[in-house]
Structure 1
């Protein structure tokens, strides 16, 4: 069958009233698209229309649409009249008998909309689908139509050319565009820019692969909010691809909640990070530095810790609330971009001045956090003309928080956090969270303050109890050293002493109280005093240690905190060049023989003295050993910190010390330094006490064979 010949032009006839009242577009299953120009000539004829009516693109392009109508099936109304009404209506739908190329009529449901292209030219977008007779499934179709129109989700159907043939009002509301602007257009023609191109790419992917795309989140119209887009391929009962179905959902609130959850997780991570980074630190400057470093750049662009000078230098809390006159010092600082301006704004060790009614002064005086949310308010932070504030503004700071660092209700200082340039300004949620950080940091700073005060007290006590001057009685030459522990800077319990006894004899004592701190220092003082007191009774070493053990046991108030100490007690008689030693759990003493007359290495031997139990165990007898010494021999007494290394057997350290003492030394002082040289640098170690005694005879004593 050839295409019907042209009738007279349609332009002479007026459009007349619509064939039917405009109605919302109906869902037309398996619809295909035809586009007509303003005079009713066909300008778009897709392959799917060819499958429906048999006419090829070459047959119909440029022909009038009314030539396809079956004149005998239009209820006595001329096809050109129907076309005129269709062209004169904004929206038209109905059933038309169209001629198949084979000559039989195809009852077709037509849904047409009058649209305008970008150049202002009118055209008609018509969706065509073969009309099926009523079937038992008609109620389901009606329900589907109702669901389509009432769904809160935006729904659109696209043909195989990815042009929209059906959409609901919900989609129009979500896109902020009239419904008719969607019909007959591809997505990128309706939604300009990257979002439209992205959706079109997804549709092409789904059309090509058949794999649905679900829940792709994209920015909403004009960048406002977010939309979730899902696409799936549509097929008829014969599995012929008919187009694409898309749903759109507003997920702005979901994104907001997800963002809030991300912020909460990030804040919890930051809070835990701060706790882990300052855990175990007992040094105020180190905590201040870690605090600032933790906050930048995770929470702010710049941060500084300002503390009361009395807290840093004296470890004392202020008796009265601090004011703008209270001396302040800048400690920890951190910044995203170190430069001369940041050095001017944040410099460790610089004094900080405040005006009486400044924001920082109020935060310090009242303990209330302050949020300065604009450059104008940032100027009020300290005092007018403050160069630190000018530097902050030059760096682009537009928002800052002044957070009191508190120990209970006492303000120790301020944590100051800044945001600059493109960083979002702080809000009240940030302020509430920052106070949690500041409170945790304040607790750590107060613990460090208390520790520093106790440490200072322990060190002061230890210095007071240690011998200020070690005597050197006739018959011995003395050298000594004391080295604090490498970590913690706590006072230890190591001590040594030299005491003159009756008959010209000399007592040499060294001891080590377990633990560190004030209790260890105090216990050391008690034991040292007890040993000095009992030594004047001229008791044998083993008997003296038995009495000291009884005293140590009596000093234990809590069984869970038993007092433990080790001690070595030696008595040397210069007239006889005889030495007696007893020890209570202490490391063994060493005896360095004089250098051989013919030269060579010295002989260093470990004195075999029963170790005994540490003081404070109780109920254990002590033994002593006596031996003669050669003129000029050196007795080496030391504490376990000299030979004990973590992960190493103590015997290895003892052998290292013995080997070191075989070297020649010009003096006892040089020998002390040589012994300390075996300490491993950059390793954790206990404090060390060292006492060297060169054993000689009295000047007028007779020589011994």
Structure 2
């Protein structure tokens, strides 16, 4: 700290007043020069010091001087007697502000204490980014003594990628002046995590002095945050498994979706193995599965495909296990199994299994076999693998994985029950559909029935052809609302009722009226009315006339020869009163009678042929008309061509299709073949 210099003459008047004295006492030189020194004394008795100084020629001690603003300033004075060139004596006084000096020393001591005792690691680096000062906390965090830091850059002390990253960060701060706050970096040797903050140091004139850094150990905070993120991700994964498989009713698709969902979010590879009996017939095993129980791998997922992956996770391959293997134990006991050692991995399935060799080639070091069980009955296994740099599975992973398996198991069991019911409904439906269709003179018949996609229940679509008196023929097609066994059984009742009433030779409108009454009576509950749509047509080949009535069904089409072009065809939508579905009750039905050109084709179908989710039904009807307008070699080929409008891979309803080529009778013949 610079001292203030004052020159006095022997009378005590000020002759020289330095700038430092002006800063210390507030008096400018213009005011101070010429004043008696005793005017500057805060305690007037101290004026006797001048006489003492003249006797001793030097004096050192403390004085209380008067600041221009009225408060005392404590100074340390070093006073000596000087003489100029002519021998005249002068007094030279060097003054130091004791109070300010004490405060500065106290402030420095406080800062030093704070620096040394700070729980944060603190480092001061010069403009060359070499350590000037570090505290003990930083030395502990860096695992190096204080002495090793001084004079060295951070990458020379810490080393490795962490040191390089810190050095780059400090260079950017020094160059740009932009501070960085709470940058998370790994600790030395990859242990724990550190929060690093740095700012550029400048003096009052903004000259760059270096960089100051603080470092804090945030390993615990980071671990807590990482654990929270794991919990959040697991809850999300658990929810995704539930939502992605809950609405599926097809066991292979559930297996594929489950494997796809857990990779790569939970494991690097995954396979879903199901009992063959469940996959094929939906039947539960009568005995707990053992190593002899036939298994099939239905679902598989992987990060990247390769030949070892193909050997390990090929969908559709049989899966064999030994009795004491990891997977065999999980299958028989219904308890999850963890394999984290080479010995356990080699015992995953059975000795010498190519799948085990493939897993080792992929770098698999951890595996879990998780039973898919419902009510204590094992339906299969979810097998997950981690490889290479992925962390091995632990007990927490296994507990969570069983929750995933539990959700998937419920969906598998629902799909199994659905498959069994659907198979029964289809069996009943096929049994009730006609196996032989009569072809009276003047009529040729072709038909198709296509069950709905696997993910839909069996419907109540039906059709029939009945030969009537007088050579006439009745053509009927219908669709019971709803799906499953009830719809199939209802379809059988209505088909039987239509066949029986058609034998009474009732007109189409009256027959539908009778069937409507029956449908109303068959309803067990007013809130669950039995409803069905239907088209009933009667064709008289001797007159080439057709009478049709409609009960809420999709409109029939007729394909007629086009007189405007040789060999051409035109497709016409029959304009019929739409009617209401059977089972509504209390509504009259109407029939339409019209002449039919020879070789015309009457097209009856159910809505599954033209309905597509998210599309207006008119678009499907247009596709059907366009397909029917094309030339075909036969009526059977026409059926196949029409079914070509069904989009593969989409969920769709049942489809019934009935084509009747109406040719009339040769001239001069009655319906019974006799001459007219």
Could you say which TM-score interval applies, normalised by the shorter chain?
Answer: 0.7 to 0.9
Residue equivalent to 2:664: 696
Alpha-carbon displacement from aligned partner over 1:11-50 (angstroms, at most 9, x marks no partner): xxxxxxxxxxxxxxxxxxxxxxxxxxxxxxxxxxxxxxxx
* Post-superposition offset of 1:496: 0.7
Q: Indicate conservation of the 8 Å contact 1:287/1:445, yes or no.
A: yes
Q: 2:250, 2:454 within 8 Å by CA — same for their partners in 1?
A: no
1:471 corresponds to: 438
Q: Which residue in 1 is equivalent to 2:18?
A: none
Structure 1 residue 621, shift from structure 2 partner? 0.9
Tell me which of 228, 231, 234 is aligned to 1:261. Answer: 228
**2:325 is aligned with 1:352:** no
Query: Could you tell me which of 438, 463, 485 is aligned with 1:496?
Result: 463
Instruction: Report the equivalent of 1:79.
Output: none
Which residue is 2:86 aligned to? none
Question: How many Å apart are 1:653 and its aligned residue?
Answer: 4.9
CA distance in structure 1 between the partners assigned to 2:608 and 2:133 by the alignment: 86
Match of 1:483 in 2: 450
Structure 1 residue 396 and structure 2 residue 363: aligned?
yes
Whether 2:251 is the aligned partner of 1:278: answer no
* Match 1:298 to one of 265, 290, 301: 265
Asked if the contact 1:375–1:397 (Cα under 8 Å) also holds between the matched residues in 2, the reply is no
- 1:501-528 Cα offsets, whole Å, 9 max, x none, are 3454432211122343333322222211
Q: How does 1:245-260 map to 2 (within 5 A)?
A: 245-260=212-227
Query: Structure 2: how far apart are the matches of 1:134 and 1:427?
Result: 64
Q: CA deviation at 1:456?
A: 0.9
Pick closer, same or farther for the CA change 1:466–1:142 going to 2, 3 Å.
same
Q: CA deviation at 1:577?
A: 4.4
Query: Aligned-pair RMSD on alpha carbons?
Result: 3.6
Q: Is the Cα–Cα contact under 8 Å of residues 575 and 701 in structure 1 kept in the other structure?
A: no
TM-score under structure 1 length normalisation: 0.73
Mapped pair 1:627 → 2:568: no
Q: C-alpha displacement at 1:657, in angstroms?
A: 4.5
Q: Report the alpha carbon displacement of residue 605 of structure 1 after superposing the two structures with TM.
A: 4.4
Cα offset for 1:623? 1.0
| Superposition deviation, residue 474 in structure 1 | 4.6
The total of aligned residue pairs comes to 582
1:174 aligns with 2:141: yes
Structure 2 residue aligned with 1:415: 382
Q: Which residue of 1 aligns with 2:580?
A: 613
Contact 1:329 1:351 (C-alpha < 8 Å) held by counterparts: yes
- Inter-partner Cα distance in structure 2 for 1:226 and 1:105: 59
Give the superposition deviation at 1:424: 2.4
Give the corresponding residue for 1:554: 521
Equivalents in 2 of 1:402, 1:518: separation in Å? 37
Question: Which residue of the other structure, out of 356, 364, 374, is the alignment partner of 2:331?
Answer: 364
Matched, 1:527 2:527: no
Q: How does 1:306-321 map to 2 (within 5 A)?
A: 306-321=273-288
- Gaps (5+ residues) in structure 2? 1-57, 59-77, 79-91, 666-670
Q: How much does 1:454 deviate?
A: 1.7
Are positions 1:537 and 2:504 aligned together?
yes
Distance 1:517 1:375 in 2: 50
Distance 2:464 2:389 in 1: 66
Instruction: State the shift of 1:651 in Å.
Output: 4.8
- 1:576 offset after TM fit, Å? 4.6
CA contact (8 A) 1:486 1:683 kept: yes
**C-alpha deviation, 1:471, in angstroms:** 2.1
The answer on whether the counterparts of 2:455 and 2:651 sit within 8 Å (CA) in structure 1 is no
1:386 pairs with one of 353, 359, 366: 353
Task: Write out per-residue CA displacement over residues 641-663 of structure 1, whole angstroms, 9 at most, x where no aligned residue.
Answer: 34445566545655655565566
Distance apart, 1:328 and its partner CA: 1.6
Deviations 1:605-634 (A, max 9, x none): 444331111112222111122334455554
The Cα shift of 1:379 comes to 1.9
Describe the superposition over 1:240-263 as per-residue Cα deviations: whole angstroms up to 9, x where unpaired. 555443222111212222332333
| Structure 2 SS opposite 1:611 | coil
C-alpha distance in 1 between matches for 2:297 and 2:309: 13
Closer, same or farther: CA 155–678 of 1 in aligned 2, 3 Å: closer
1:154 to 2:127 alignment: no
Q: Against the structure 1 CA distance between its residues 575 and 429, is the aligned structure 2 distance closer, same or farther, given a 3 Å change threshold?
A: same
Is 1:459 aligned to 2:432, yes or no?
no
CA distance in 2, matches of 1:166, 1:632: 105
TM-score by length of structure 2 reads 0.76
Unaligned segments of structure 1, at least 5 residues: 1-71, 73-96, 98-103, 109-129
CA 1:699 to 1:107, structure 2 compared with 1: closer, same or farther past 3 Å? farther
Change (3 A) 1:387 1:651: closer
2-structure distance, mates of 1:209, 1:666: 83
Post-superposition offset of 1:445: 1.7
SS at match of 1:516: coil
